[in-house]
């Protein structure tokens, strides 16, 4: 599925897949499921070396001519943000138990790495697990759950399938661009603080509250441990702000943190939000169908490598969440052959796809077993089409 196929109707003759998890597992070589703790730590070391290298480079920006300092800082912010997103991905593997066969190593490593990025490790781990168990289920998924037409108050508006891109925009493109930027930079903390984009039952719930509806009573102290990790990280940042200035901390840490937010939200959003990808009601959903509602996307080889291929092997990750990332590319090649038309891939530039999907994938209908995105744009009708009518 590429940009050239945007106007192909994905809903025509669509039938939900009926694969079993055993069928999919059997098509992947057994060694792809093996976890190597030392190899996993090598990627942590690789990313930490990247962080140190770019921080060292940034410490010499003041030696550059004035005309080059701003471009140099921008380059640092992007590069450091990308590398730190890679660290986020490794901690994400810890949360799934894909980093090591040892649970303690997974939890300690994930807690340290995520806390350094101001992520409440256990809080995120529990809700993210529910996302994997209920992907693209309209009532039970945990993130980027589509709003219905009535929820958005659009009952009297036309419903245009999102795959139809030849439309008259009802709002200025700049408005949607602003909303995309807002979502990408601040959507992640908004999700953590008030469960933005989450399911109806938990909207407004906080990932920092051990008594939140998001968590079971037995997880109380793990949520507290997550909060302690954030307090430690926050204290370190406060200390450096006092020692060196808040501006220094913002330049070295704060802005790269926003870049991490951007990539995290963008990756998550684009993995499950597309005109070609369905959402299911409770009656028609099952685990495999939900897991396959995932789009692999090519971000370019540099980003693919730096992000540990989280973006272009995400179908394999959703089917086999305990598979380490360094086996996911090989597994993906086998899954492609098995899944056929049910394997979703898009090579559209991810920045364009982000804007395009945000603009066109606005809501789903209020009822139905299989739901595709709709929007309120008015399709452009050609003279020929009018005559044919």
pLDDT in tens, 36-67: 999 999 999 999 999 999 999 999 999 999 99
Q: Which residues pair with 344 in a beta bridge?
A: 295
Mean pLDDT of 259-285: 94
Q: Which of 17-26, 182-191, 256-265, 329-338 has the lowest mean pLDDT?
A: 182-191
Note the pLDDT of residue 144.
Answer: 85
Span 94-101, average pLDDT: 98
Mean pLDDT of 232-260: 97
Which pLDDT band holds residue 362 (cuts at 50, 70, 90)? confident
Q: What's the pLDDT at 387? A: 42
Tally of helices (H runs) and strands (E runs) in the chain: 15, 8
Q: Are 286 and 134 in contact (CB under 8 A)?
A: no
What is the structure's pLDDT at 172? 62
* pLDDT > 70 in the chain, percent: 91
Q: What pLDDT score was predicted for residue 221?
A: 97
pLDDT grade, residue 240 (50/70/90)?
Answer: very high
Query: Which range (38-52, 237-251, 356-370) has the least confidence?
Result: 356-370
Q: Between residues 65 and 143, which one has the greater pLDDT?
A: 65
Encode burial over 98-137: b for 16+ CB neighbours within 10 A, e otherwise: bbbeeeebbbebbbbbbbbbbbbbbbbbbbbebbbebbbb
Task: Quickly state the pLDDT bin for 152 (edges 50, 70, 90).
Answer: confident
Contact between 330 and 339 (Cβ < 8 Å): no
Residue 75's nearest CA partner among 237, 241, 246, 255 is 255
Q: What's the confidence (pLDDT) of residue 165?
A: 58
Q: Is the pLDDT of residue 9 over 70?
A: yes
Burial 50-70 (b: 16+ CB within 10 A, else e): bbeebeeebeebeeeeeeeee
pLDDT of residue 386 exceeding 50, the answer is no
Residue 294 vs residues 37, 177, 203, 313: alpha-carbon distances, Å: 27, 24, 24, 10
Q: In which band, very low, low, confident or very high, does the pLDDT at 153 lie, cut at 50, 70 and 90?
A: confident
Residue 19: which region, alpha, beta or left (left: phi > 0; alpha: psi -120 to 50)? beta
Beta strands in the chain (DSSP E): 160-161, 167-168, 279-280, 295-297, 344-346, 370-371, 374-375, 378-379
pLDDT, mean over the chain? 90
Residue 4, pLDDT above cutoff 80: no
Take residue 246 and report the two structure tokens written for it.
Answer: 């808040």
């Amino acid at each position: 599925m590429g940009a050239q196929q945007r106007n192909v109707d994905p809903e025509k003759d669509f039938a939900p897949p009926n694969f079993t998890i055993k069928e999919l597992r059997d098509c992947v070589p057994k060694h792809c499921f093996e976890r190597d703790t030392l190899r996993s730590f090598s990627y942590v070391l690789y990313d930490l070396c990247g962080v140190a290298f770019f921080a060292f480079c940034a410490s010499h920006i003041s030696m550059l001519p004035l005309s080059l300092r701003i471009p140099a800082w921008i380059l640092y912010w992007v590069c450091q943000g990308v590398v730190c997103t890679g660290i986020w991905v490794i901690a994400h593997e810890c949360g799934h138990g894909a980093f090591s066969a040892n649970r303690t190593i997974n939890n300690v490593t994930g807690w340290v790495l995520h806390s350094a990025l101001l992520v409440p490790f256990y809080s995120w781990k529990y809700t993210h697990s529910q996302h994997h168990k209920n992907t693209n289920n309209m009532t039970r998924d945990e993130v980027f759950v589509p709003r219905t037409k009535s929820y958005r108050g659009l009952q009297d508006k036309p419903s245009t399938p999102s795959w139809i891109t030849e439309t008259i925009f009802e709002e200025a493109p700049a408005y949607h661009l602003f909303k995309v930027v807002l979502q990408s930079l601040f959507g992640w903390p908004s999700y953590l603080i008030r469960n933005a984009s989450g399911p109806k039952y938990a909207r407004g719930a906080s990932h920092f509250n051990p008594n939140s509806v998001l968590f079971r009573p037995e997880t109380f102290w793990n949520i507290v441990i997550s909060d302690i990790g954030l307090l430690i990280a926050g204290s370190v940042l406060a200390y450096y702000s006092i020692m060196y200035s808040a501006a220094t901390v913002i330049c070295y840490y704060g802005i790269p943190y926003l870049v991490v937010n951007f990539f995290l939200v963008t990756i998550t959003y684009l993995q499950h939000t597309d005109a070609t990808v369905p959402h299911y009601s409770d009656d028609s959903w099952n685990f495999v169908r939900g897991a396959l509602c995932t789009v692999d996307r090519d971000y370019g080889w540099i980003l693919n490598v730096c992000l540990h291929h989280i973006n272009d092997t995400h179908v394999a990750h959703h089917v086999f969440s305990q598979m380490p990332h360094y086996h996911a590319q090989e597994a993906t090649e086998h899954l492609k052959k098995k899944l056929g038309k049910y394997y979703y891939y898009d090579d559209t530039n991810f920045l364009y796809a982000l804007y395009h999907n945000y603009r066109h994938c606005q809501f789903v209908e209020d009822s139905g077993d299989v739901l595709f995105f709709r929007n309120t744009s008015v399709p452009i009708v050609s003279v020929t089409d009018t005559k044919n009518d």
